[in-house]
Amino acid sequence: MDNIAQSQNSAIKCSDLLNTKVKDIDGQEVNLCKYQGKVLLIVNTASKCGFTGQYADLEKLYQKYHNQGFEILAFPSNDFLNQEPANNEEIKSFCTLNYNISFPLFAKIKVKGKEQSPLYAKLSAAKGNPQWNFQKYLISREGKVIENFAPLTSPLSAKLEKSIMAEIKR
């Protein structure tokens, strides 16, 4: 594939970060270049974690800013104390039934260690490895990692929303 990808809205050179193929929660291959030109929040998630309730706030955040060019990309991972033991179908069902999420959910991946996914290798190189589940990476419209928010940071925190708004208005 050519390194230049078309975003959904306009022709933009795909950033190195987003020039990655992943599988969505249903097993379909997705080239993340399709999100070039949008402000992104990439989050590693887990359904049996003390932070799992953040799914609800992530959905609120998504609903609040989605129409302004904002996307949340959720990547379930079992890398922290086996807090995501479910398979993709079970994860999708859990997220739908318990949180009614509408943002993109991807197949379970490795976010650290020797088998770390290429996407998370790039995120980690830019702003550090995820410390735990629900680490949040804010990505500019140009596909650059702007900021890394710790799992303790609520998706609806003033700091995170201020950073998202700054990127949306840029």
Q: Decide if 6 is inside a domain.
A: no
Sequence letter at residue 90: E
Give mean pLDDT, residues 85-103: 97
- Structural domain span for residue 147: 21-169
Q: Decide if 16 is inside a domain.
A: no
Sequence letter at residue 110: K
Work out the percent of the chain whose per-residue pLDDT is above 70. Answer: 93
Q: Decide if 80 is inside a domain.
A: yes
The pLDDT of residue 3 is above 80: no
Give mean pLDDT, residues 68-93: 97
Count up the domains in the chain and report the number: 1
pLDDT score for 59: 98
Whole-model pTM? 0.92
pLDDT score for 1: 42
- Rounded to a whole number, what is the distance in angstroms from the first to the last CA of the chain? 30
Q: Decide if 5 is inside a domain.
A: no
Q: 20-44, pLDDT tens digit by residue?
A: 999 999 999 999 999 999 999 999 9
Can you point out the beta strands (E) in 11-133?
Answer: 21-23, 29-31, 39-45, 70-76
pLDDT score for 124: 95
Q: Decide if 59 is inside a domain.
A: yes
Q: 39-78, pLDDT tens digit by residue?
A: 999 999 999 999 999 999 999 999 999 999 999 999 999 9
Q: How many C-beta atoms lie closer than 10 Å to residue 16's C-beta?
A: 12
The pLDDT of residue 122 is above 90: yes
Q: Decide if 143 is inside a domain.
A: yes
Q: Decide if 11 is inside a domain.
A: no
Q: Which residue numbers are catalytic?
A: 49
CATH code, domain carrying 153: 3.40.30.10
Q: Decide if 7 is inside a domain.
A: no
Average pLDDT, the chain: 93
